[in-house]
Structures are given as structure tokens and as C-alpha cells.
Homo-oligomer: A and B are copies of this chain.
């Protein structure tokens, strides 16, 4: 009795709910009835299976006995479609194993539901963890994340960003923002929805750890332990993470009336090797520092290696603290004192926020608060002062 439209078997053995459709299928005309048979010159062959299983929206619509448009609406928000009809369509879709073709939808809507993500390198467990959060956040919002490694190389960043944009991602999440580069602002100026994770940049919404605070926490801890001559392995100068962790640390020391000797602040790469090199340099300083703060756990591990090479036992002869608290840090032979930052959550919130921007809801930057994790690598400075007790 309802929409006569076409025949299309609907073989469901449902008993009642009589939507029998009066006119019946008239068994014939496959296509949409009367058609101004237009000029029929070309004879393009069909490309191939549509997608996963070849089931298209038209198939679902035919099966449910409704028009494609109705089926489409029913499968989306269901607005403007009767409850019963919607359910029938959903059932058909389920039974037929229908899966929307994102290419078709994207072509029509102009949105891909893809989020591009740029990271220095996924082999850096910190970024990998952040990415796990991004993936989860994106998925929760119905988006798919697509990552690319840029090795912190400006040219690669630009190239990968364009590549992702060519893929028509709806937005870009940058985990490799550099203070000495203009890529991020340029993208924003171009109207591309952009958000930063892990590293900050003025003028671009970002989701980061409160690195200044993190650095300060370490400083306060070392100060309480009586360390007055301290070194800092500061990371790369173009990354806000290292810069701000260092600043928070030195600010706190300065406020305590014990300014950090500038010559004891050295830059480095964020890996074990970089930390090792920096460690050697710091340990060769005239009065040797009694504690070293590395802005990254792996760099801290490198520092511990350098200490050993110098015949020092980390935690006894030299206090060492890191940052990020990667799982490995707590399992080290000499567990590493570190600052825990909610990496996964940062990624998740960043992804959700970017989706918000994409969908017109806008978003505000957010800084997550870090927590100090004291372990064996930082012990009271046996030489200069009375050890202060710290609740572990």
C-alpha cells in the first residue's frame, strides 16, 4: 500500500506489518520506468566491484522498498524518515552487509572524515603513545587518522602536509610543530583546520603538557634534595617541549636564589645518543654538577650511560631526572625519576578538538598538568647538604 516504486523482492519472511505495496512490481522494467532515452554514444564498461562487497545504497533501498534518498537519510540521522521505515532500511542494510562508500560520500559532501597527523617519528614512544590517543579519539568521533613521519625536517613536514591535504583530510594535527618554522600558521591562514599536540606555538590551538610546570616540579624536587649545581639536557631548541621544561626548571632555581649556570644547559636530540653526548659534556664541567635534568626520558637514559662511563652510579653519585615517564623508565635497573604527562589523553583530546573545529564547533587550547614520579635515580646529594625527606 505504500510506495509502489519498484518490485524488488524483499524476501524477508516477515509475517504481518502489512506493507504489501498495492501495484506490485509489475515484474518488468528493471530501471526507473519512463526515461527520455538520451543519446547513447559512449559505452563505458563498469569499473569493478564497488567496494567491500558490491552492495550499494541503491541495493539497500530496493530491498527495503524505498528510494535511495530515503535510505540515505534513514542510515544517517534518520531525520525526515518514519521510524518504521528507518528501521526497515537499517535491517536491509544489515542483512545485505551494506557499507557506505566513503569516496562517494566524500565526493558529494566535500568532507572525508579523515584526520591527517604529522609526527617527528613514530619510533619515538612518546609520539607513538600520543598517536594511540589520537587514533582512539578520532575513531570515537567517526573519523580515521592518517599519520606520516616527518623526522622533524621542515621540508618533509611541508611535503607530508601537502600530501595529506591532497588526500583531502578534513583537518591536520601537528605533533611536530617547530618554533623556527611557519608551516602551522600558514596552514591556519589557508583556512585548514589545524591543532597542535605535544608542542606549542603561539596563535595556534594546542594540546600540551604544562611543560613549564613539569620543569618546575623537577627543580623543586632537586632543590629539596640539596642540589645546587645542576645541569640540563635541554633538547632541541625548536621544540617548545624542551624549551619550556628547561625554562620552568631554571626559573624555579632562579627563584630559589640558585641560578643555573648557563654553561650547564646544553641542547641535544631527544634520543639516547643525544642524551649520552650531552651527559659527557656536562660531566666534564669544572665543578661537576651533582644532578642532571634531561627533558626527555631517553635522553636521561643516555645521561645515565655517560655517568656510568665516568665511573658514577646514577642515583648515588649523580641524580638524574627525565621527562614523560615512559613505561621503560620505571623498569630500568636504576628506576628513573621522571615527570608523567598524560600523553595518550593529550592525543585523544586533541583529536576530539580538531573534529570540533572541522565541524564548526571551534576549540580552545588546553594544557594538561604533569606529575612528578620520584624514583631511585634521584637520591639526596650526599656531599653538600642534609638530605630532605620526600614522600615517595
Q: Which residues of B contact A166 (CB under 8 A)?
A: 52, 99-100, 102
Tell which of B107, B123, B308 touches A129, judged by Cβ atoms closer than 8 Å. B123
Q: Which residues of B contact A35 (CB under 8 A)?
A: 38
Instruction: Knowing A122-B132, A125-B125, A305-B333 are in contact, say whether A50-B110 is a contact too (CB < 8 A).
Output: yes
Q: Which residues of B contact A308 (CB under 8 A)?
A: 333
Q: Which of A86-94, A140-148, A281-289 contacts B (4 or more CB under 8 A)?
A: A140-148
A308 vs B315: C-alpha distance when bound (angstroms): 15
A22 an interface residue at 8 Å Cβ cutoff?
Answer: no
Q: Which residues of B contact A128 (CB under 8 A)?
A: 121-123, 125, 128
A302 an interface residue at 8 Å Cβ cutoff?
Answer: yes
Q: Which of A175-183, A224-232, A271-279, A366-374 contacts B (4 or more CB under 8 A)?
A: A271-279
Tell which of B38, B49, B102, B301 touches A331, judged by Cβ atoms closer than 8 Å. B301
Check B304–A102 contact: CB distance below 8 A: no
Q: Which residues of B contact A165 (CB under 8 A)?
A: 52, 99
A254 an interface residue at 8 Å Cβ cutoff?
Answer: no
Tell which of B103, B122, B276, B332 touches A106, judged by Cβ atoms closer than 8 Å. B103
Check B167–A148 contact: CB distance below 8 A: no
A345 an interface residue at 8 Å Cβ cutoff?
Answer: no
Q: Which residues of B contact A99 (CB under 8 A)?
A: 165-166
Q: Which residues of B contact A144 (CB under 8 A)?
A: 146, 163, 167
The residue of chain B having its C-beta at the shortest distance from the C-beta of A116 within the complex is: B144
A327 an interface residue at 8 Å Cβ cutoff?
Answer: yes
A135 vs B272: C-alpha distance when bound (angstroms): 24
Q: Which residues of B contact A333 (CB under 8 A)?
A: 304-305, 308, 333
Q: Chain A, 288-328, contact with B by CB distance < 8 Å: what is the 0/1 string? A: 00000000001001101100100000000000000000011
Q: Which residues of B contact A167 (CB under 8 A)?
A: 102, 144
Check A149–B168 contact: CB distance below 8 A: no
Check A110–B48 contact: CB distance below 8 A: yes
The residue of chain B having its C-beta at the shortest distance from the C-beta of A192 within the complex is: B52
Classify chain A: how many residues form its interface, as a range: 35 or more
Q: Which residues of B contact A100 (CB under 8 A)?
A: 166
Smallest CB separation, A388 vs chain B (Å)? 27
A128 vs B122: C-alpha distance when bound (angstroms): 6
A327-384 residues with Cβ-Cβ distance < 8 A to B are 327-328, 331-333
A76 an interface residue at 8 Å Cβ cutoff?
Answer: no
A333 vs B333: C-alpha distance when bound (angstroms): 9
Smallest CB separation, A259 vs chain B (Å)? 32
Check A331–B123 contact: CB distance below 8 A: no
Check A272–B123 contact: CB distance below 8 A: no
Check B131–A273 contact: CB distance below 8 A: no
Smallest CB separation, A214 vs chain B (Å)? 21
A104-132 residues with Cβ-Cβ distance < 8 A to B are 104, 106-110, 112, 121-123, 125, 128-129, 131-132
The 15 listed contacts between A and B (C-beta, < 8 Å) are: A48-B110, A49-B110, A52-B165, A101-B168, A103-B104, A122-B131, A132-B149, A144-B163, A271-B327, A301-B331, A302-B331, A304-B333, A305-B331, A305-B332, A308-B333
Which positions in A face B, CB cutoff 8 Å? 35-36, 38, 47-52, 99-104, 106-110, 112, 121-123, 125, 128-129, 131-132, 135, 139, 144, 146-149, 163, 165-168, 271-273, 276, 298, 301-302, 304-305, 308, 327-328, 331-333
14 other A-B residue contacts (CB within 8 Å) besides A35-B38, A298-B328: A36-B38, A48-B109, A51-B168, A102-B103, A102-B166, A103-B104, A103-B112, A123-B125, A135-B148, A135-B149, A276-B331, A302-B331, A308-B333, A333-B333
